Each structure stands twice: as C-alpha cells, then as structure tokens.
Amino acid sequence: MVYWIHIARSIDRVTLHKEKCAEVPSNAIRTDFWEGGWFDYPTKERALAAMEQAGTTYQKNCPLCKP
C-alpha cells in the first residue's frame, strides 16, 4: 500500500492519506517540497517521518480514509 501526504504550506498543515482515498488526485502533481504538494511513500513509517520533517504546525490524518 502507498501512503500520500499533502503538504499545504498556505494553511500550515500536512495530511496523511491512503492510496485509494477520494481526496488523492488521480494525476497527483508533485510540487517543490518547500512550496507544498502531494508526495507518495511506500510505507506508513516513511510517510509519518516525512510529516514530521514537513515543517508545518498542524499534522492530521485524513478523516475519510483514516490511515
């Protein structure tokens, strides 16, 4: 299973999603890490580590897919 994180620098938040979540765009456009965007990780541990390093104040799990 692939995990996605969505870094939203404009609202200072990072969100963890499962690969089949309805919020993950089908053509996920990756942008620069410092601007934000969608990033995929092969394991939940790596995704959680990336969330810690994202530099945002708020971290949350998706309320739809509950990873």
Interacting residues of 3 by C-beta distance below 8 A, sequence separation 6+: 16, 17, 18, 19, 40, 41, 42, 43, 44, 46, 47, 67
7-41 per-position pLDDT tens digit? 998 899 999 999 989 988 887 666 666 678 899 99
Mean pLDDT across 36-47: 93
Q: Which pTM was predicted?
A: 0.86
Beta bridge partners of 17: 4
State residue 62 phi and psi, 5-degree precision. -60, 130
Domain boundaries, the chain: 3-61
Output DSSP code: residue 65: T
